[in-house]
Structure 1
Amino acid sequence: MSTKPAISATPLLSQRHNGIPARLFDKAQEAKSAISAIATKSQSNRTAIALPQGVGESTFHRAIDALRGHLGKDHVELVTKLNDGWYMENPNTHDAMHVAEEDALVASAIVYPSTTEEVQKIVHWANKYRIPISPISIGRNYGYGGAAPRVRGAVVIDLGRRMNRVLDINPDDCTCLVEPGVTYFALYEEIQDRGFKHLWADVPDIGGGSVLGNALDRGVGYTPYGDHWMMHSGMEVVLPTGEVIRTGMGALPGNNSWQLFPYGFGPTPDGLFSQSNLGIVTKMGFGLMPNPGGYESYLYTFPKDEDLSQLIEIIRPLRIAMILENVAQLRHVSMQIGLEGKPRSTYYAGKGRVPDSIIHEAAKKLSSGDCSWLYYGMAYGPREIRKYKLEIIHKEFMKIPGARRIDPTTLPTTDYFWVRDRIASGVPDIEELRWVNWHPNGGHAAFSPVSPVRGHDATALWDIARTRCEEFDLDLFPTFVVGLREMHLIVEIVFNRDEPVMRNNVRACLRAMIDDAAKLGYGEYRTHLAFMDQIAGTYNWNDGALMKFNEKIKDCLDPNGIMAPGKSGVWPARYRGRGWEMSAKDEAPEGLGVGPSPDSTKL
Structure 2
Amino acid sequence: MANEDLSFLPPGVSRESFAAALKEWRAIVGDEYVTADVERLAPYSKVMLPEPAERHRPAGAVAPASSEEVQAVMKVADKYRIPVWMISTGKNLGYGDAAPATAGQVVLDLKRMNRIIEVDETLCYALVEPGVTYMQLKQYLEENNIPLWISFPSSGPVAGPMGNTLDRGVGYNRYGQHFENFCGLEVVLADGSVLRTGMGGVENSREWNVYRWGYGPWVDGLFSQSNFGVVTKMGIWLMPKPAVSRGFLCGWNDDDSMAKGMDVVRGLNLNKVIENGVLGHTMYYIAQTYRRSEIYTGHGAIPRDRVKQICNDIGLGIWGHISTLYGTEEQVEVNLKIAREAFATTGGQFAVQGDPGIEKTPFHHWNLNMTNEPTLTEFTIYNYKGGGGSSWLAPVVRCEGSEVLRQFNLMHGVLDEFGFDYIGGFLIGGRHAEQLTDILYDRNDAEEMDRAYRCYVKMVEELHKAGYGIYRTSTAFMNHLAETYGPAQRAFNQKLKRALDPNGVIAPGKSGINI
Q: 2:501 aligns to what?
A: 558
Q: 1:64 aligns with which of 11, 17, 22?
A: 22
Q: 1:348 and 1:169 mapped to 2: Cα distance?
A: 50
Counterpart of 1:478 in structure 2: which amino acid?
Answer: G
8 A contact 1:477–1:491 mirrored in 2: yes
Counterpart of 2:110 in structure 1: which amino acid?
Answer: L
Counterpart of 1:388 in structure 2: which amino acid?
Answer: V
Q: 2:353 and 2:173 mapped to 1: Cα distance?
A: 21
Map residues 331-480 of structure 1 onto 2, 5 A cutoff.
331-340=280-289, 342-364=290-312, 366=314, 369-405=315-351, 408-411=354-357, 416-480=362-426
Q: 1:419 and 1:48 mapped to 2: Cα distance?
A: 47
Q: 2:216 aligns to what?
A: 266
Q: 1:187 and 1:121 mapped to 2: Cα distance?
A: 28
Residues 537 and 95 from structure 1, CA distance in 2 versus in 1: closer, same or farther, beyond 3 angstroms?
A: farther
8 A contact 1:237–1:283 mirrored in 2: yes
Map residues 7-26 of structure 1 onto 2, 5 A cutoff.
none
8 A contact 1:144–1:528 mirrored in 2: yes
Residues 407 and 139 from structure 1, CA distance in 2 versus in 1: closer, same or farther, beyond 3 angstroms?
A: closer
Map residues 249-328 of structure 1 onto 2, 5 A cutoff.
249-326=199-276, 328=277
- Distance apart, 1:300 and its partner CA: 1.4
Counterpart of 1:183 in structure 2: which amino acid?
Answer: T
Specify the SS of the correspondent of 2:316. coil
- Distance apart, 1:551 and its partner CA: 0.8
Specify the SS of the correspondent of 2:180. coil
Counterpart of 2:115 in structure 1: which amino acid?
Answer: R
Specify the SS of the correspondent of 2:320. strand
Map residues 31-42 of structure 1 onto 2, 5 A cutoff.
none
Q: 2:133 and 2:265 mapped to 1: Cα distance?
A: 32
Counterpart of 1:66 in structure 2: which amino acid?
Answer: E
Unpaired runs of at least 5, structure 2: none
Residues 140 and 391 from structure 1, CA distance in 2 versus in 1: closer, same or farther, beyond 3 angstroms?
A: same
Q: 1:511 and 1:445 mapped to 2: Cα distance?
A: 11
Q: 1:245 aligns to what?
A: 195
Q: Does residue 1:141 correspond to 2:92, yes or no?
A: yes
- Distance apart, 1:515 and its partner CA: 1.1
Q: In the TM superposition, what whole-angstrom CA distance separates every residue of 1:460-496 from its partner, at most 9, and x where no partner exists?
A: 2111111111111111212111102111111111111
Q: 2:490 aligns to what?
A: 547
Specify the SS of the correspondent of 1:338. helix
- Distance apart, 1:412 and its partner CA: 7.9
Residues 48 and 300 from structure 1, CA distance in 2 versus in 1: closer, same or farther, beyond 3 angstroms?
A: farther
Q: 1:74 aligns to what?
A: 32
Q: Does residue 1:522 correspond to 2:468, yes or no?
A: yes
- Distance apart, 1:172 and its partner CA: 1.1
Residues 477 and 432 from structure 1, CA distance in 2 versus in 1: closer, same or farther, beyond 3 angstroms?
A: same
Specify the SS of the correspondent of 1:152. coil
Q: 1:409 and 1:454 mapped to 2: Cα distance?
A: 29
Map residues 96-107 of structure 1 onto 2, 5 A cutoff.
96-107=47-58
Aligned length: 512
Q: 2:154 aligns to what?
A: 205
Residues 417 and 331 from structure 1, CA distance in 2 versus in 1: closer, same or farther, beyond 3 angstroms?
A: same
Q: Does residue 1:570 correspond to 2:513, yes or no?
A: yes
8 A contact 2:302–2:421 mirrored in 1: yes
- Distance apart, 1:362 and its partner CA: 3.5
Counterpart of 2:213 in structure 1: which amino acid?
Answer: Y
Alignment root-mean-square deviation, CA: 2.0
Q: In proportion to residue count, which structure has more helix?
A: 2
Q: 1:269 and 1:137 mapped to 2: Cα distance?
A: 21
Counterpart of 1:405 in structure 2: which amino acid?
Answer: A
Residues 537 and 398 from structure 1, CA distance in 2 versus in 1: closer, same or farther, beyond 3 angstroms?
A: same
Unpaired runs of at least 5, structure 1: 1-44, 85-90, 573-603
Q: 1:579 aligns to what?
A: none
- Distance apart, 1:268 and its partner CA: 1.3
Counterpart of 1:552 in structure 2: which amino acid?
Answer: K
TM-score after normalising by structure 2: 0.95
TM-score after normalising by structure 1: 0.82
8 A contact 2:399–2:430 mirrored in 1: no
- Distance apart, 1:408 and its partner CA: 3.3
Q: 1:82 and 1:169 mapped to 2: Cα distance?
A: 35
- Distance apart, 1:79 and its partner CA: 4.5
- Distance apart, 1:50 and its partner CA: 3.6
Q: 1:46 and 1:395 mapped to 2: Cα distance?
A: 66
Counterpart of 1:337 in structure 2: which amino acid?
Answer: I
Specify the SS of the correspondent of 1:285. strand
Specify the SS of the correspondent of 2:472. coil
Specify the SS of the correspondent of 1:313. helix
Residues 476 and 49 from structure 1, CA distance in 2 versus in 1: closer, same or farther, beyond 3 angstroms?
A: farther
Of 136-145 and 495-504, the range deviating more from structure 2 = 495-504
Q: Does residue 1:156 correspond to 2:104, yes or no?
A: no
Q: 2:23 and 2:246 mapped to 1: Cα distance?
A: 57
Q: 2:62 aligns to what?
A: 111
Q: 1:98 and 1:395 mapped to 2: Cα distance?
A: 44
8 A contact 1:49–1:108 mirrored in 2: no
- Distance apart, 1:410 and its partner CA: 2.1
Q: 1:5 aligns to what?
A: none
Specify the SS of the correspondent of 1:474. coil
- Distance apart, 1:557 and its partner CA: 0.8
8 A contact 1:50–1:106 mirrored in 2: no
Counterpart of 2:261 in structure 1: which amino acid?
Answer: L
Q: 1:123 aligns to what?
A: 74
8 A contact 2:85–2:507 mirrored in 1: yes
Residues 488 and 278 from structure 1, CA distance in 2 versus in 1: closer, same or farther, beyond 3 angstroms?
A: same
